[in-house]
């Protein structure tokens, strides 16, 4: 390494901190995750929505939350609403928060799914100066290599907060006549009362295939298969695949008979009941047809690098072991 390269590395270490980390980090956890609690504040007592919310769209950044009944949108807009991310064990410290503004409702059998735009965010996993140094560094990287989805600065800062909560990655199986596909997804989550939501990039063929088919299967992934599953991300851009070309054996889901990987730990079959184009992503609401658990163990989850750095510091994990340890 040249002297100039050593100097650049030293400066980067001083500005960004002692550790370097990617924006997306793989971790192993048992489902459902129990490390981070997500609470909705502003409607009386805090509501635990850990297992009834999801990211419905990246641009504009939109959070979907399931409610038990109809929602008065205008009444909600008069409230100061926050989505807070808190350590569930130990000191239960606040890790981050998103300020929300209701933007739309999707009625499903008399129970609304409410969409919230993000107005601002707070991230408490890094000191403020280090946090902004990271933001500037990542802005430089985006300038050098623009991402597929253009996002406003407010939305970009919301993403690390939202991914403080560990998010599982699944494989989606879908077929419509002769066309079929298998691709990874992590913009998803339960919405309560047998409802499940997920979001797909509106410009990708995978989204239109799911909308045409109306039925799909989600397969959870064991941690040791994470690399192979991430490699299938290219399938989002394909109209269809040849099942026999997949790098692992397949079997069939219980009711719909869709091809699913033999290593699946849990298989959910879904039927789409509502579709909304919210911007960069199409938001799907579905009912759960079947939900079968086939195996147990560490599952493929993802967290943001800023939270992963906090985990390593507070939980005493080293960077390599953190990707292999079940929580």
Looking at residue 319, what is its pLDDT? 43
> Does 2 or 257 have the greater pLDDT score?
257
CB-CB contact of 294 with 264 (8 Å) = yes
| Rounded distance between C-alpha atoms, residue 35 and residue 297, angstroms | 16
Is the pLDDT assigned to residue 30 strictly greater than 50?
yes
Is the pLDDT assigned to residue 236 strictly greater than 80?
yes
* Across 96-117, average pLDDT: 94
Looking at residue 174, what is its pLDDT? 98
Is the pLDDT assigned to residue 209 strictly greater than 90?
yes
How high is the mean pLDDT of the chain? 90
Model confidence over 286-322: pLDDT tens digits?
999 999 999 999 999 999 999 998 988 876 654 444 4
Q: Give 46's pLDDT tier (boundaries 50, 70, 90).
A: very high
| Rounded distance between C-alpha atoms, residue 86 and residue 294, angstroms | 31
What sign has the CA pseudo-torsion 68, 48, 116, 164? negative
Cβ contacts of 56 within 8 Å, gap of 6 or more:
62, 63, 64, 115, 187, 197, 199, 278, 281, 283
Topology of the domain covering 167-300: Pnp Oxidase; Chain A (2.30.110)
CB-CB contact of 222 with 298 (8 Å) = yes
Is the pLDDT assigned to residue 20 strictly greater than 70?
no
Kindly list the distances between the CA atom of residue 133 and the CA atoms of 17, 24, 305, in Å, as whole numbers in the listed order.
Answer: 9, 18, 14
Structural domain boundaries of the chain? 167-300
Looking at residue 150, what is its pLDDT? 82
Q: Give 3's pLDDT tier (boundaries 50, 70, 90).
A: very low
Looking at residue 191, what is its pLDDT? 96
| Rounded distance between C-alpha atoms, residue 65 and residue 192, angstroms | 9
* Across 272-294, average pLDDT: 97
Whole-model pTM: value is: 0.89
Q: Give 14's pLDDT tier (boundaries 50, 70, 90).
A: very low
CB-CB contact of 240 with 204 (8 Å) = no
Is the pLDDT assigned to residue 272 strictly greater than 60?
yes
């Amino acid at each position: 390494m040249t002297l100039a390269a050593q100097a650049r590395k030293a400066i980067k270490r001083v500005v960004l901190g002692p550790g370097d980390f990617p924006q997306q980090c793989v971790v192993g956890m048992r489902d459902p995750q129990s490390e981070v609690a997500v609470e909705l504040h502003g409607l009386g007592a805090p509501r635990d929505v850990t297992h009834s919310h999801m990211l419905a769209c990246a641009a504009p950044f939109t959070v979907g939350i399931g409610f038990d009944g109809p929602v008065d949108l205008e009444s909600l807009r008069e409230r100061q609403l926050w989505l807070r991310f808190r350590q569930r064990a130990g000191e239960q410290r606040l890790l981050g928060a998103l300020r929300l503004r209701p933007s739309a409702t999707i009625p499903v059998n008399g129970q609304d799914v409410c969409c919230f735009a993000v107005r601002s965010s707070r991230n408490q996993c890094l000191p403020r100066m280090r946090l902004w140094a990271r933001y500037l560094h990542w802005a430089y990287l985006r300038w050098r290599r623009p991402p597929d989805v253009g996002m406003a600065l407010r939305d970009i800062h919301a993403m690390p907060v939202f991914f403080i909560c560990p998010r599982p990655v699944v494989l989606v199986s879908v077929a419509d006549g002769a066309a079929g596909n298998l691709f990874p997804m992590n913009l998803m989550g339960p919405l309560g009362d047998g409802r499940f939501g997920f979001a797909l990039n509106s410009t990708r063929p995978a989204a239109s295939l799911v909308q045409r088919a109306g039925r799909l299967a989600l397969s959870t992934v064991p941690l040791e298969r994470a690399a192979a599953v991430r490699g299938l991300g290219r399938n989002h851009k394909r109209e269809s695949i040849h099942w026999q070309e997949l790098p692992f054996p397949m079997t069939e889901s219980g009711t719909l008979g869709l091809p699913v990987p033999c290593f699946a730990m849990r298989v959910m079959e879904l039927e789409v009941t509502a579709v909304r184009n919210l911007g960069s992503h199409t938001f799907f609401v579905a009912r759960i047809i079947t939900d079968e658990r086939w195996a147990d163990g560490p599952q493929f989850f993802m967290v943001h690098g800023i939270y992963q750095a906090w985990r390593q510091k507070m939980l005493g994990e080293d960077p390599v072991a953190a990707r292999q340890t079940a929580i």
